A and B are shown apart, each in its own frame.
Chain A
């Protein structure tokens, strides 16, 4: 399936990015072949609505699921309307490649509710 992973860089060995709306890149990875597209997040510096514009970009690339650290309520709502599955709780030290492997092994749980906005993560894996 096509999985979108929030990333700090343009390739699979980049570290993941924790915040959905403000990630500099989205990698749309085909989990079967590991082929991927890079979408640059042109709205990451924006004051408002970064999450919704990110959701729109991802939908336009036909991603079926999103894997990220934390996603705000507006973007959550948008993705749910678009029937995109949402997985939160990325570990900040993982590469995109490692995160996708964990996803294939079903190590992430689907988020059924938004966890919150700026400043609060549901879990900082490996943090305090």
Chain B
């Protein structure tokens, strides 16, 4: 079983759009489980009229809780918290829970044993079915933290579904950025597709993403979306790709059918199969099939 993760560094370059269409095409030849690991703002489900099968709350986060009956107000916990999450209010400590990392430093220092570190529900995992695919998504509860842990759970659940269904391929929509959730999404995957666009900001973020992918030694390829919005900018991307020996898998032109399809809540390859972007995605899918075969 292989897992392909689609990342971008910069948000808004078309990662989820491409993932939805790519998954749709690949599901014609493979059994596919799709995973949405952009757990802050899971969007993949918006492309499919999927029926929710199962939803469960999960806890991948721990927080500090103070027992005020034991607390004497010494405020040592406020001094030791490295995450600005323990503050003094009226001579008593107060946990700022959204930023609390659950590290337990406060519990260690408390002379009265008045602090406990406990698991909290910080998100949920949802499994949905379309007519020929399973979609596993994760959602971080608003204001909560530890999205990395939820990403791990989404991938674990996707893998379980994949094993259960004897699936060949997991296609994962990754989170934006390069931080902890992105690292969690790519660790142990078979291949990364980096999506970018020919603007200076997107190239800047691509470079940072490429460093992280390189660190984890995962093979990767590049897709240039909205490739014709800036003829001057595309060369800079190609030069970068060449210097870093990353193959450019596809150039997808800006296509007004894409926002139209999004407004219809369908992948562009389903809504407008002869559109230029649909044709480009089908060619990308073919390339991927050869790549997948060669992955060990």
Give the interface of A toward B (CB within 8 A): 47-48, 72, 116-120, 124, 127-128
B189 within 8 A of partner (CB): yes
B149 within 8 A of partner (CB): yes
Asked if A47 and B149 sit within 8 Å, CB to CB, the answer is yes
Asked if B159 and A119 sit within 8 Å, CB to CB, the answer is yes
B60 within 8 A of partner (CB): yes
Minimum C-beta distance from B109 to chain A (A): 22
Asked if A118 and B188 sit within 8 Å, CB to CB, the answer is yes
CB-CB nearest 10 A-B residue pairs: A117-B188, A47-B149, A120-B188, A119-B188, A117-B187, A116-B188, A118-B188, A47-B60, A119-B3, A119-B155
CA A120 – CA B168 in complex, angstroms? Answer: 13
SS class, residues of chain A in contact with chain B: loop
CA A72 – CA B149 in complex, angstroms? Answer: 16
When the two chains form the complex, which single residue of A72, A116, A118, A124 contacts B1, counting CB atoms closer than 8 Å?
Answer: A124
CA A119 – CA B148 in complex, angstroms? Answer: 15
Minimum C-beta distance from B1 to chain A (A): 6
Asked if A120 and B152 sit within 8 Å, CB to CB, the answer is no
Minimum C-beta distance from B164 to chain A (A): 12
- A116's nearest neighbour on chain B, judged by CB, is B188
A116-B187, A118-B155 given. 19 additional CB < 8 A pairs? A47-B61, A47-B146, A47-B148, A47-B149, A47-B152, A72-B188, A116-B188, A117-B188, A118-B156, A118-B187, A119-B3, A119-B159, A119-B170, A119-B187, A120-B188, A120-B189, A124-B1, A128-B166, A128-B168
Give every chain B residue within 8 A of A118 (Cβ-Cβ).
Answer: 152, 155-156, 159, 184, 187-188
* Tally of contacts, chain A with chain B, CB under 8 A: 35
Give every chain A residue within 8 A of B168 (Cβ-Cβ).
Answer: 128
Give every chain B residue within 8 A of A47 (Cβ-Cβ).
Answer: 60-61, 146, 148-149, 152
Give every chain A residue within 8 A of B149 (Cβ-Cβ).
Answer: 47-48
Minimum C-beta distance from B162 to chain A (A): 10
- B146-193, CB < 8 A from A: 146, 148-149, 152, 155-156, 159, 166, 168, 170, 184, 187-190
Give every chain A residue within 8 A of B184 (Cβ-Cβ).
Answer: 118
- B172's nearest neighbour on chain A, judged by CB, is A119
Asked if B3 and A120 sit within 8 Å, CB to CB, the answer is yes
Asked if A128 and B1 sit within 8 Å, CB to CB, the answer is yes
8 A-B pairs in the complex with CB atoms less than 8 angstroms apart = A47-B149, A117-B187, A118-B155, A118-B156, A119-B159, A119-B188, A124-B1, A128-B1
CA A37 – CA B189 in complex, angstroms? Answer: 34
CA A18 – CA B189 in complex, angstroms? Answer: 17
CA A127 – CA B1 in complex, angstroms? Answer: 8
Minimum C-beta distance from B173 to chain A (A): 15
CA A7 – CA B288 in complex, angstroms? Answer: 36
Give every chain B residue within 8 A of A128 (Cβ-Cβ).
Answer: 1, 166, 168
Give every chain A residue within 8 A of B61 (Cβ-Cβ).
Answer: 47
- B3's nearest neighbour on chain A, judged by CB, is A119
CA A122 – CA B152 in complex, angstroms? Answer: 19
Give every chain B residue within 8 A of A117 (Cβ-Cβ).
Answer: 187-188
CA A47 – CA B59 in complex, angstroms? Answer: 9
CA A119 – CA B1 in complex, angstroms? Answer: 9
